[in-house]
């Protein structure tokens, strides 16, 4: 016998994400959601401020929104689909590029990091971190930082192969510093959008 109180959910329990509110459920719906997330990320990749070696794009905002909306599993699969489709030649990456040559682009390491980033924010979203603004800012900021874990080492390797400076200070100056303010701004945007989306679909409080 448990001591659980009827009608209450444990604070650490997994709860629905926005995609779970869709009435029609099943494999076909999940596939459409995953594909839609990949296409949305591809569209946001074209919102670009050209910079070398790493451009500023809308991808990170797309990644955290897709992950929070779809949940960890579907969000990660969506980002994996985005990456694989881009490598296969779909014009999904910044400046409508695609193909295996993207592997030699200094910024590709960030794309690899999109998969765990979406999974992380999806996990947090199932624990209500996307439904309140302050908690949302924290969650989206943390998730937005994950692509740097893969992006910075990848950047250093590719810069070295190109014969460019790739010491720690240079890598941080080129691959991290220009994106801190923008990353926080994207987290704030996402933390504002998701609670509004929940209110729009009439989520009931537990």
**Would you kindly state where each structural domain of the chain is located, as residue ranges?**
24-200
Residue 139 has pLDDT above 70, yes or no: yes
What is the rounded CA–CA span in Å between residue 82 and residue 202?
31
pLDDT band at 112 (very low <50, low <70, confident <90, very high): very high
User: b vs e for 85-100, b when ≥16 Cβ sit within 10 Å of the residue's Cβ?
Assistant: bbbeebebbbeeebee
Instruction: Convert the pLDDT of each residue in 12-25 to its tens digit.
Output: 557 899 999 877 78
Average pLDDT over every residue of 60-70: 97
Average pLDDT over every residue of 20-47: 93
Q: Enter the pTM of the model.
A: 0.90
In Å, how far are 61, 116, 181, 190 from 80, measured between CA atoms? 16, 10, 26, 21
Instruction: Convert the pLDDT of each residue in 144-192 to its tens digit.
Output: 999 999 999 999 999 999 999 999 999 999 999 999 999 999 999 999 9
Mean pLDDT of the chain: 91
CATH of 24-200, one of 1.10.150.120, 1.10.530.10, 1.10.1760.20, 2.60.40.1220: 1.10.1760.20
Identify the bridge partners of residue 49 per DSSP, sorted by sequence position.
56
What pLDDT was estimated at residue 22?
78
């Amino acid at each position: 016998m448990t001591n659980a109180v009827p009608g209450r959910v444990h604070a650490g329990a997994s709860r629905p994400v926005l995609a779970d509110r869709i009435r029609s459920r099943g494999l076909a719906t999940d596939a459409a959601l995953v594909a839609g997330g990949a296409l949305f990320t591809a569209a946001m990749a074209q919102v670009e401020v050209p910079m070398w070696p790493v451009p500023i794009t809308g991808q990170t905002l797309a990644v955290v929104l897709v992950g929070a909306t779809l949940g960890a599993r579907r969000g990660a699969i969506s980002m994996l689909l985005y990456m694989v489709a881009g490598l296969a030649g779909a014009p999904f990456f910044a400046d409508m590029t695609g193909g295996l040559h993207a592997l030699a682009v200094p910024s590709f390491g960030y794309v690899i990091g999109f998969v765990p980033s979406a999974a992380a924010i999806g996990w947090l979203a199932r624990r209500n971190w996307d439904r309140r603004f302050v908690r949302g800012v924290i969650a989206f900021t943390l998730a937005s930082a994950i692509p740097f874990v893969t992006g910075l080492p990848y950047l250093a390797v590719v810069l070295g192969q190109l014969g460019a400076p790739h010491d720690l200070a240079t890598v941080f100056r080129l691959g991290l510093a220009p994106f801190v303010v923008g990353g926080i701004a994207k987290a704030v945007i996402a933390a504002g959008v998701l609670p509004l989306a929940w209110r729009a679909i009439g989520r009931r409080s537990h």
